[in-house]
Amino acid sequence: MEASDALQLARVQFGLNIGFHILFPSITIGLAWLLVYFRARYALTAEAAWLATYRRWTKVFALTFAMGVVSGIVMSFQFGTNWPGYMNTVGNVAGPLLAYEVLTAFFLEATFLGVMLFGMNRVPGWVHMTASVLVAFGTTLSAFWILALNSWMQTPAGWAWNEAGKLIAGSWLEVIFNPSFPYRFVHMTLASGLTAAFVVAGLSAWRLLKAPADAAAARTLRTGIVIAAVLAPLQIAAGDAHGLNTLEYQPEKIAAIEAIWKGGRGIPLELFAIPNPATKHNDWSISIPKGASLILTHDPNGGLEGLDAFEPDVPPVAPVFFAFRIMVGLGFAMLALSWLGAWMTRRARAAPRWLLWGFAAATFIGWGATLAGWIVTEMGRQPWLVSGLLRTADAVGDISGAELGASLTGYVITYSLMLLAYIVVLTHLAGEGDGGEK
Amino acid sequence: MSLDLPLVFTALMGLAILAYVVLDGYDLGVGMLMPAASEEEQAVMVSSIGPFWDANETWLVLGVGLLLVAFPAAHGIVLGALYLPVAAMLVGLMLRGAAFEFRVKALGWHRELWNWLFWFGSFLASLAQGFMLGRTITGYDSGFGYWLFSLVVAGGLCGGYMLLGATWLILRTEGALQRKAIGWARWGLGWVALGVALVSLATPLASETVKMKWFDFPRTLGLMLLPLATVACGVWVWRSLGRSDWKPFAGTVAIFVLAFAGLAYSLFPYLVMDRMTLWQAAADPSALRFVLVGALVVVPLIAAYTAFSYRVFRGKARAGMYEH
């Protein structure tokens, strides 16, 4: 009993940290490239307004980046403190991927961020532009490595056993470009683009509600809306492709997503239901007959495997089922809002106040979808930490519940304080104008 | 001849940790010195570390990353044994990292709060790191004496970081703040001298292995060069205070390098004192080779652009210079 309590605490703590951390990279990966765009517009037009825009969003970026750095440092330690069995078992594959992230991406981002933030008057314009590009490149590269590792844990490939019976990489190319990696990488970078676009649009809308005549805010509102309107349908297509990839390599995850307890032909699509693990049945179900088969196999009578085919190694159904519906729902909400916004602001039309309120309210909508998506993919992999190779329960350390509880309390207080301060400062920054700044 | 990969990675990890201690050491030290300065001076102090602290902390991630990559078997033991100090350090680093950004954007009591958290976070992280060092030297043994020893090391490292911070400020500031920093450096140096002396005396008492390594004639005679050089550096720092901008910082870095060399010698070849050597803990050669290739290409690049960044931001810091 005690061992499983420690396991649950270790999972809660790690999940809390990783969930807190992902909030910030999900903004910075996309926002970094937006800053490159603003910086380039300033370089091309030499308009002071573009410079002011660049500076304003650089502040948001710096703040977000710092939050990502410090919460990321925590993660690098928690791999060892919470999951010693992880490195012991698959360290020969996971370690080098993390090392490449640090070596190729972290130093690049952190060093050139200094030049980007503080060096504008100290280096020539092209050097400063290059620094902005390198920061953006670094954030994307960082996502590349970490998603390669995460995808490998979902769909391991390219590994072998050495003479000592330890798992090693047989082919690094196969490890990195494992079956789910391209889908996950595209899905996550698009998610970051959408998250950043809604943050930019939302904070600009917030500014316009306070100062309707702010032309720079109207321009960034439009920029955010257009980017979101382009990325939202791409993301839906990418998500669909990712889902079909999951059906091929992790059918048990799909069974949990769709709450298919028993496999067969012509499986209905559950729009809403309360999955009941005791009866292995969906209560309060509202479903479209043969819908799941149609979507997943493109044939109304197509066969799908159910959770029964994978017992006892099945993921918890309800969280995966609900998180998936939240993610998809928010995805379509983003599509609707961005297209509506694009239409309403066409040809430099001013956005009506109700639309501004809508975008201000949706500032962090990308966070909701991103977190829900990660819950689907990570909980959908359980009880495995590395699919088929290592169980989560076998990777947990022998840290006492008291130590976990004490540190968890410290983390919760710190995270709450940081998140509150982050949102307060962001809205405060958004509310003030560019006028007084140099 | 085949390359001793675990040894190469021990050296790399040692370098990353040394780089971290010196680089983040000065900015943690500046953080700890904040309450002793006026509000205008605080702004200059933060300016002097603003462009660097992010990259400085990345060395910590590289250090722990190399531990994780190259020595997976030790990684879990070390981080498990250091669980609470690691958590305290992380909370400290998070608070001060966030405070960096928030203090310049906040007003009134909010600003006061973040200033306080900046100091507190810097102090907590430094204390925790010193404590971790003390626990590592003693092989994570429990018992009152060992805990006391770790607390002494923690205090000594805080003093060392403050000395680094003060001499960094001598290098990067001028006028009244620089004169204040000279005073801080004198205090810091005294503290460091006490700390190094205590740790040097206590370590052989705390660990039989360390005692054997240092008190083994005639090797001891050669090894005595290390403490002698440390004392010489200390004297050099003391004498150059108020006479040179750069010598105190350079001398302090030299003290850190020497102390690090002494500790490395004490610990070698163990990663977990008396329990696990670096060869026992090493990852598979295939993993080490893959990372080494990348490191050989990338580390010189990192060094080059770090040097570039220090060149861009050379000279004396002024208040608000790096507020964005």
Which of A58, A104, A397 has the CB atom closest to B80's CB atom?
Answer: A397
**pLDDT value for B320:** 66
A 159-198 near B (Cβ less than 8 A): 162, 164, 166, 168-169, 172
**Residue A120 is encoded by which pair of tokens?**
């504008």
Best-predicted range by mean pLDDT among A417-421, B67-71, B255-259, B317-321?
Answer: B255-259
Judged by CB atoms closer than 8 Å, whether chains meet at B72 and A91 is answered as yes
3-class secondary structure, A121:
coil
Split at pLDDT 50, 70, 90, the class of B267 is confident
User: β-pairing, A303-304 with A264-265?
Assistant: antiparallel
Kindly state the greatest CA–CA separation across chain A. Answer: 71
How does pLDDT run across A132-149, given as a tens digit for each residue? 999 999 999 999 999 999
Split at pLDDT 50, 70, 90, the class of B1 is very low
Distance CA A294, CA A134 (A): 44
Q: What ipTM was predicted for this assembly?
A: 0.78
- Mean of pLDDT values over B73-79: 82
Distance CA A106, CA B64 (A): 14
Whether A416 has its CB under 8 Å from any CB of chain B: the answer is no
**Residue A224 is encoded by which pair of tokens?**
């955010």
A62 neighbourhood in chain B, CB within 8 Å: 101, 324
User: Letter for the amino acid at A392?
Assistant: T
- Residue B144 burial class via C-beta count within 10 angstroms: exposed 0-12, middle 13-18, buried 19 and up: exposed
User: What value does the mean pLDDT of chain B take?
Assistant: 86
Using alpha carbons only, how large is chain A's radius of gyration in Å? 23
At A122, give phi and psi (nearest 5°).
-110, -15
Domain ranges of chain B: 5-312
What is the rounded (10 degree) CA torsion for A99, A189, A81, A84? Answer: -70
**Residue B65: count of CB within 10 angstroms of its CB:** 27
DSSP state of A119: -
**pLDDT value for B306:** 86
How does pLDDT run across A48-58, given as a tens digit for each residue? 888 888 888 88
- As a whole-number percent, the residues of chain B with pLDDT over 90 amount to 25
**pLDDT value for B107:** 72
**pLDDT value for A1:** 38
For residue A268, is the peptide bond before it cis, meaning its omega torsion is within 30 degrees of 0?
Answer: no
Place of tokens 């003030």: A432
**Residue A21: count of CB within 10 angstroms of its CB:** 21
Q: How far apart are the first and last CA of chain B?
A: 53
How does pLDDT run across B33-65, given as a tens digit for each residue? 998 888 888 888 988 888 888 888 888 888 888
What interhelical angle do B53-70 and A48-82 show, nearest 10? 30
Best-predicted range by mean pLDDT among A258-262, B23-27, B199-203, B312-316?
Answer: B23-27
What is the chain B residue with the closest CA to A104? B298
What is the chain A residue with the closest CA to B105? A425
- Mean of pLDDT values over A255-274: 85
Judged by CB atoms closer than 8 Å, whether chains meet at A99 and B86 is answered as no
Which of A66, A84, A406 has the CB atom closest to B100's CB atom?
Answer: A66
User: What value does the mean pLDDT of chain A take?
Assistant: 87
- Residue B304 burial class via C-beta count within 10 angstroms: exposed 0-12, middle 13-18, buried 19 and up: exposed
Distance CA A430, CA A234 (A): 28
Which of A111, A358, A114, A377 lies closest to A242, judged by CA? A377
How does pLDDT run across A370-391, given as a tens digit for each residue? 999 999 999 989 888 888 888 8
Distance CA A198, CA A85 (A): 39
Strands (E) across A126-205 are located at 159-161, 167-169
Which residues on neighbouring strands pair with residue A167, listed in sequence order?
Answer: A161
Which residues on neighbouring strands pair with residue A264, listed in sequence order?
Answer: A304
Judged by CB atoms closer than 8 Å, whether chains meet at A70 and B91 is answered as no
Distance CA A254, CA B223 (A): 64
How does pLDDT run across A160-196, given as a tens digit for each residue? 888 877 888 888 899 999 999 999 999 999 999 999 9
- Residue B199 burial class via C-beta count within 10 angstroms: exposed 0-12, middle 13-18, buried 19 and up: buried
How does pLDDT run across A27-45, given as a tens digit for each residue? 999 999 999 999 898 888 8
**pLDDT value for A222:** 92
pLDDT greater than 80 at residue B321: no
3-class secondary structure, A168:
strand
Which of A172, A130, A96, A133 lies closest to B298, judged by CA? A96
DSSP A379-431: HTTTTEEETTTEEHHHH-----HHHHHHHHHHHHHHHHHHHHHHHHHHHHHHH
pLDDT greater than 90 at residue A74: no
What is the chain B residue with the closest CA to A403? B84
DSSP state of B7: H
**pLDDT value for B258:** 92
Distance CA A23, CA B281 (A): 35
Cβ atoms of B105 and B65 within 8 Å: the answer is no
- H/E stretch holding A304 reads strand A303-304
At A416, give phi and psi (nearest 5°).
-60, -45
Which of A74, A84, A103 has the CB atom closest to B80's CB atom?
Answer: A84
pTM over the 0.95 mark: no
Q: Which residue has the higher pLDDT, A149 or A308?
A: A149
**pLDDT value for A312:** 85
pLDDT greater than 70 at residue A64: yes
Which of A63, A98, A164 has the CB atom closest to B101's CB atom?
Answer: A63
- Mean of pLDDT values over A399-413: 83
Judged by CB atoms closer than 8 Å, whether chains meet at B61 and A106 is answered as yes
Cβ atoms of B155 and B133 within 8 Å: the answer is no
Kindly give, in sequence order, each residue whose CB lies less than 8 Å from that of residue A329, ignoring residues fewer than 6 positions away.
none
DSSP state of B37: S
**3-state DSSP helix/strand/coil % of chain A, to nearest 5:** 75, 5, 20
A 54-73 near B (Cβ less than 8 A): 55, 58-59, 62-63, 65-67, 69-73
pLDDT greater than 80 at residue A432: no
Cβ atoms of A11 and A385 within 8 Å: the answer is no
Find the DSSP H helices in A288-400. Answer: 291-297, 317-344, 353-361, 365-379, 392-395
What is the chain B residue with the closest CA to A402? B84
Distance CA A403, CA B45 (A): 36
Distance CA A230, CA A335 (A): 9
**pLDDT value for B130:** 92
